[in-house]
Amino acid sequence: MNFASDNVYGVDDAILAAIGAANETLTAPAYANDDWTRRAEGMLNDVFEREVSVFLVASGTAANGLALSTMAQPFNAILCHADAHISVDECAAPEMFSGGAKLYGIDGAGNKLTAASVEAMLATFVRGEHNSKPAAVSITQATELGTVYTLDELTAITRLAHGRGLKTHMDGARFANALVSLQCTPAEMTWKAGIDALSFGATKNGALALEAVIFFDTALAEDFAYRRMRGGQLLSKGRYLGAQMAAYLKDGLWLDNARRANAHAGRLAAGLAEVPGVRVPLGADANLVFPILPRALHDQLKAAGAVYHLWPGAGPVIDTVGEDEVFARLVTSFATRDEDVDTFIAAARRNS
């Protein structure tokens, strides 16, 4: 019953097999000049229904920081949600890669930005060169609370940003989970909605270590090969990233994995919502569930072997958590077992 994170699970068998197959080739061109990488880049063009600039990297933190560094100079401001991963979980990587651009966090229900909240933040930049100069807006899809922006919400934010001369970035660590939740196309959720650059996550959804920085505004990619190299993300044996990505995309594996993870979360949320004393105020748009549990039940679930984290805050939601309650985060994976979901729900019912 491990719901600590989708990072705790292993690698999808098909992706692991693809790495092994790439390893059977005695030699191959180094530094992402191999056939596997070219194949993966072509597949991503097909996925997004247009030619894009693709750069494979090994970590989401690097993908976010490097992507944002193309949009922001040291004196610039990057707007994001106050609880966005880039703001609270990446050890100032965007600031480092950009040479000092400042992140400005914006509060919002469900860890979501809105066009209105972005506009309100922009209105505070009134000191000319004494302020950082706004340059970019970063949107997390799905958010750290498992909520998902609708296409209309995305478009409203990007339209405002572009109207003010700002670039737009999407942190898509759980991109596939959001996509299958919305039942739209990758193009509709990105460049058609006004996104300029995407951190396309695969590690949480079955890959070993694989993310891609994808530019829809290809002018941003002009010097990115140098940024990736300087950031330590140009792998000498790059074919192993390319092999992972090609296997991830082949026959819709990435979407199947996300659907399975989301389905587990939906079942977990529905089951917990029926347990007396348990509340699930945020639902489960993607593969994360945030129940409010009686503290006694939390203690009993932990004693029964359940693994999950307590979460520090969720805006207005956390204000409703009583002294005898806890706010928990449970994350499901493509590899989560049906029986673990069933066992957790049964344990909650038995101890409620």
Q: Could you report the per-residue pLDDT of 285-338, keeping only the tens digit for each?
A: 999 999 999 999 999 999 999 999 999 866 677 778 888 999 999 999 999 999
What pLDDT is stored for residue 316 in this prediction? Answer: 73
The pLDDT > 90 percentage for the chain reads 94
Tell me the pLDDT tens digit for each residue of 173-182: 999 999 999 9
Q: Which two tokens stand for residue 90?
A: 């990446």
What pLDDT is stored for residue 314 in this prediction? Answer: 66
Mean of per-residue pLDDT scores for the chain: 96
- What residues does each domain of the chain span? 13-253, 257-351
Average pLDDT of 92-111?
96
Alpha carbon 4 to chain centroid, angstroms: 16
Backbone φ/ψ region at 206: left (φ over 0), alpha (ψ -120 to 50), beta: left
Strand order, beta sheet including 197-201: 53-57, 211-215, 197-201, 167-172, 133-140, 76-81, 102-106
- The residues near 82 (Cβ < 8 Å, ≥ 6 apart) are 105, 106, 107, 108
Tell me the pLDDT tens digit for each residue of 244-273: 999 999 999 999 999 999 999 999 999 999
3-state secondary structure of 277: coil
Q: How far apart are CA 94 and CA 177, in angstroms?
A: 24
Q: Which two tokens stand for residue 233?
A: 């993300």
- The residues near 212 (Cβ < 8 Å, ≥ 6 apart) are 44, 54, 55, 56, 57, 63, 198, 199, 200, 202, 245
- Measured N-to-C along each axis, helices 175-182 and 253-273 cross at an angle, to the nearest 10 degrees, of 70
pTM of the model: 0.96
Tell me the pLDDT tens digit for each residue of 51-70: 999 999 999 999 999 999 99
For tokens 């101890």, the residue is 351
Least confident of 44-53, 307-316, 343-352: 307-316
3-state secondary structure of 145: coil
Q: How far apart are CA 192 and CA 185, in angstroms?
A: 10
Q: What CATH architecture is 257-351?
A: Alpha-Beta Complex (3.90)
- Provide the CATH number for the domain formed by 13-253 in this structure: 3.40.640.10
Calculate ∠ Cα 68-131-140, nearest 5°. 30
pLDDT top residue among 351 and 143: 143
Q: How far apart are CA 137 and CA 317, in angstroms?
A: 25
Tell me the pLDDT tens digit for each residue of 191-242: 999 999 999 999 999 999 999 999 999 999 999 999 999 999 999 999 999 9
